[in-house]
Structure 1
């Protein structure tokens, strides 16, 4: 899953600020752009973990182009942070399932199109 992030450029005395528009209240910062990006990924993962633990639906990422038109973020830099929902579970369990080949091919193609692993795609769809 790829979440758009808005990055407000830092200065010599101010950190880079990061906002995740699709996750209300999810924000981060960093002294460097690289640190801000790393911290944004951590903030997103923590936000999603809490949402999963609380049984909330996981918000789908909005289109980057739609967010870029938001006047609140005029002049900000944009990026994408990739998160695999399957990695957010406390405990991974290996399972064995049987599916028709054509269904498995559709799942694999959808996961590839979403930039996710098969497990991550199935987990995200189940939590949605």
Structure 2
């Protein structure tokens, strides 16, 4: 399953460029990294961890990837880079 993510820079924290990542279709799932590549690897692990926790807790959820066109209209998502991360939720061992 391909899940859209939003990568935004946050250079206000320190002199290094840091990238924050939001997963709009999975509320509460965020991550970060010092590079874009690192941020994308970290968010993939965050997605597996977040969904795995929901499953272990017995919480109902549905991941229905939204189209970029729809997500990009949200004011909170302005000024970032959209990307897709591919995850296979069948890999979760819960």
TM-score by length of 1: 0.64
Contiguous gaps of at least 5 residues in structure 2: none
What do you get for the CA RMSD once the two structures are aligned?
1.4
Decide which moves more: 21-30 or 63-72: 63-72
Task: Specify which structure has the bigger relative contact order, considering alpha-carbon pairs within 8 angstroms and separated by 6 or more residues.
Answer: 2
Could you say which structure has the higher strand fraction? 2
Is residue 16–residue 34 contact of structure 2 (8 Å, CA) maintained in 1?
Answer: no
Q: Which residue of 2 aligns with 1:45?
A: 48
> 3-state DSSP class of the match of 1:43?
helix
TM-score by length of 2: 0.85
Contiguous gaps of at least 5 residues in structure 1: 91-128
Q: Does 1:4 pair with 2:7?
A: no
Could you say which structure has the higher helix fraction? 1
For 2:61, which of 57, 64, 77 is the aligned residue?
Answer: 57
Larger C-alpha radius of gyration, 1 or 2? 1
1:15 Cα deviation (Å)?
1.2
Q: Does 1:87 pair with 2:74?
A: no
> 3-state DSSP class of the match of 1:81?
strand
